[in-house]
Amino acid sequence: MKTEIQFIQGDITRLICDAIVNAANRTLLGGGGVDGAIHRAAGPELLEECKSLGGCETGQAKITKGYQLPVSAIIHTVGPVWHGGKYQEEELLVACYRNSLACAQTQHLKTVAFPSISTGAYRFPIRKAAAIAVGTVKKFLEENPDAFEKVIFVLFSERDLEIYQNIL
Q: Across the beta sheet with 19-24, what order do the strands follow?
A: 4-9, 150-155, 111-114, 19-24, 73-78, 61-65
Closest by Cα among 27, 4, 29, 34 to 17: 4
Q: In the complex with ligand APR, which residue's Cβ is closer, 66 or 79? A: 79
Q: In the complex with ligand APR, which residue's Cβ is closer, 118 or 136? A: 118
| 1, burial (CB in 10 Å: exposed 0-12, middle 13-18, buried 19+) | exposed
Can you tell me the distance from the alpha carbon of 32 to that of 25, in angstroms, rounded to the nearest whole number?
Answer: 10
Q: In the complex with ligand APR, which residue's Cβ is closer, 32 or 43? A: 32
DSSP state of 119: S
Q: In the complex with ligand APR, which residue's Cβ is closer, 16 or 143? A: 16
∠ at Cα 99 (143, 64), nearest 5°?
A: 130
Considering the complex, what minimum distance in angstroms separates the CB of residue 116 from ligand APR? Answer: 4
Q: Which residues bind ligand APR (CB under 6 A)?
A: 11-13, 23-25, 31-37, 79, 115-122, 154, 156, 160
Considering the complex, what minimum distance in angstroms separates the CB of residue 2 from ligand APR? Answer: 25
Supply the residues annotated as catalytic: 35
Dihedral pair phi/psi, residue 161, rounded to 5°: -60, -45
